[in-house]
Amino acid sequence: MKSYGHEGGRVFPTKEQFDKHLELPACKREGCQEITVDGTDITYPGRQWKALNYREGSHSKETEEYCFGCAFWFDRAKDMHDGVVIVEKNGERVRYSFDAGMPISKSPASCRGFGGAMWTIQFKDGREVQTNNLWCQSAIPEHFWDMFEVNARFV
């Protein structure tokens, strides 16, 4: 589909639709670049998720002035546990997670992360863990890196 710009999965086929979207209140997160004008280097802060059609309670109350993308990472930053894996990969910082209480899952492989593939994770704190139920939570935007220290590598 031809598009003028997008914010996450939200696509704006015409400049009119795009400009109307930009009239909504902007994300307050400094460094936010969730909106891109397709085919250019031009970016804008995302729009506050409260102003869009998201369900009440999609994200925590403190994130109401953030866009959907920033709210997601803000909430992930508060959800740190032993199964959170943050690795550097091709210049990106990527967050994965698994259930540290049950790293080896017996559920059908098709229900597990990466189709049940086995991963060995070497944590900086000395733990080495194998899991067959790892989930990728995608690349962390650079302006959130201060909240997500690299803590592991795959071996």
- Residues in touch with Zn ion (CB under 5 A): 27, 29, 32, 34, 46, 67, 70
CB of 53 to Zn ion, least distance (A): 17
Burial of 15 per CB tally in 10 Å (0-12, 13-18, 19+): exposed
User: How many other CB atoms are there within 10 angstroms of residue 119's CB atom?
Assistant: 18
CB of 116 to Zn ion, least distance (A): 34
Smaller CB distance to Zn ion: residue 47 or 112? 47
User: How many other CB atoms are there within 10 angstroms of residue 81's CB atom?
Assistant: 10
CB of 128 to Zn ion, least distance (A): 36
Cβ–Cβ under 8 Å, residues 7 and 47: yes
Smaller CB distance to Zn ion: residue 70 or 129? 70
Report the distance separating Cα 116 and Cα 155, nearest Å. Answer: 17
Smaller CB distance to Zn ion: residue 83 or 141? 141
Smaller CB distance to Zn ion: residue 27 or 152? 27
Report the distance separating Cα 49 and Cα 66, nearest Å. Answer: 6
CB of 11 to Zn ion, least distance (A): 18
| SS3 category, 150 | coil
CB of 20 to Zn ion, least distance (A): 19
Report the distance separating Cα 4 and Cα 12, nearest Å. Answer: 6
Smaller CB distance to Zn ion: residue 76 or 112? 76
